[in-house]
Amino acid sequence: MEIKKEIYAAHKALSMCSFEFLEFAKNNPDTLKRSNFNSILLDEQFKEKPIQPWPAFVNKKTRKEMEKAAVNVCKLIKCIPGRIFDYDFFKISDYYEIPMDRVELLFYGTKDEDIEHLLARGDFIFSSNGLKCVEYNVESNLGGWELDLLEPLYINNPIIDTFLKENDVRIRNNNFFPLFLGFLVDRALNKFSNRMERLNLALVLPAYKDVHAQLHLTVLYRKILQQKRDGLMGTIIICLFDELNIIDDSVFYRDEKIHIVIEMTNGIVPFMILHAAKSGNILLYNGPISGIMSNKLNLALLSEHENSDIFSLKEREVIKKYIPWTRKIIQMNTSYRNQEIQLIDFVLSNKDEFVIKPAVGYSGEEVHPGASVSEMQWENLIKRAVVEKRWVVQEYIESLSFLHQSGEYGCVEHQAVWGFFVFGSQYAGGTMRILPGKAKTVIINVAQGAEKSIIIEVEE
């Protein structure tokens, strides 16, 4: 099979191991056969999910760049309510087009410390100009949490195991859940008391049936507790909000007092739970504040302020390096690459260079690359966006092409979105979504046909 020079270059930029895997695949036809990866694809935990059998291999240098991008952009997003709006709810309501009473609820009981410790995942694209952040999800319900369970399946697959051994590849094992649980426990012990005997965590999910993941989490959590302090006990309880009781502003599950609540309900949390968090009796992740922190208008705010004294010189450099040109779609004069423009006219005249997104949206819904629609459709989308004032336009960021397995047998070029996890200010590895092809008309999302893969960090 022939591999283009630019494909080799893209993989080599990730790591020499990634380059070597292409050579391995080129000389080993079994690597192209999808059924040879059934130990991953048909595992009981993942057989219903769209999994890509080839992982991505990154070295220490690439990992550091991922960490730098993820953590620094996350810090900037989390400072927006205070730095740009000075926590003025009237200004926040006006900019995000959110009713005032809703804004007050979103911020209810939220302190600077809470914002500082939010859970997040930034979505980045490796472009010809480096990493670019196209979206930042600052919420608890983050896709990709299965990293720790997936990695052993990849590493132990016979095809990948052969490659690793033949090339003497040393892996830096993923520690997603240990980092996550350790982060939660450290903060809880610091907040409540290092002398407490039990520390219980409630994971609130609308529905949960994965007993494998539940058992993995329970065993790991108890191990983490023992590592943090000898004799510290506790458990993870997976439940619904209806199963939690409030007594004197404290939260209980049956007879167990809860200290940490992680909601995976898209920020919809009962008021009594919010009040318990405000009273300091629980740590809540992330809660309603996700409704502001995950809003795509935040990237527009950073992009618009890339030369503003609101941010330090170092922060402005972060914006220019990682944030693509993004604007809220309203009638206004602005700049584009040092050129003064009238936003609407400019975007209408250059549709193939941009993508339109709703400020709040999931799974790639209502995301419209200009190259995928007609002139009339583009004009109607812009008109709608101007009226609703809840849309952003962003320069289209083209992914470098990476080679991955495709179909029952073979491999083709793929585009990729890389999701990097951040807990507070701690980088916690990443995941990726990939989609065949190189067209500017596609959306790289699982709901739109993309597959998930993992990032394996290697020592080089």
The residue to which tokens 């046909």 are assigned: 449
Specify the domain boundaries for CATH 3.40.50 within the chain: 175-285
Q: Which tens digit of pLDDT belongs to each residue from 252-279? A: 999 999 999 999 999 999 999 999 999 9
- β-bridge pairing 354-358 and 368-369: antiparallel
Q: How far apart are CA 402 and CA 434, in angstroms?
A: 9
Q: How far apart are CA 296 and CA 103, in angstroms?
A: 16
Q: What is the pLDDT of residue 141?
A: 82
Q: What is the pLDDT of residue 212?
A: 62
Please determine, looking at this structure, whether the domain spanning 175-285 carries the CATH number 1.10.3470: no
Instruction: Reduce the secondary structure of 373-418 to three states and give it as a string.
Output: CCHHHHHHHHHHHHHHCCEEEEECCCCCCEEEECCCECEEEEEEEE
394: left (phi over 0), alpha (psi -120 to 50) or beta: beta
Where the chain has pLDDT below 50, the residues are none
Residues 6+ apart with CB under 8 A from 213: 45, 146, 149
Q: What tokens appear for 6 in the block?
A: 């630019």
Q: How far apart are CA 236 and CA 234, in angstroms?
A: 7
Angle at 203 between CA 197 and CA 204, to 5 degrees: 135
If we measure between CA atoms, which residue out of 182, 198, 185 comes closest to residue 255? 198
The residue to which tokens 């959306």 are assigned: 443
- Would you give the distance in Å from CA 455 to the centre of its chain? 14
Q: What is the pLDDT of residue 207?
A: 72
* 3-class DSSP assignment, residue 67: helix
pTM of the model: 0.95
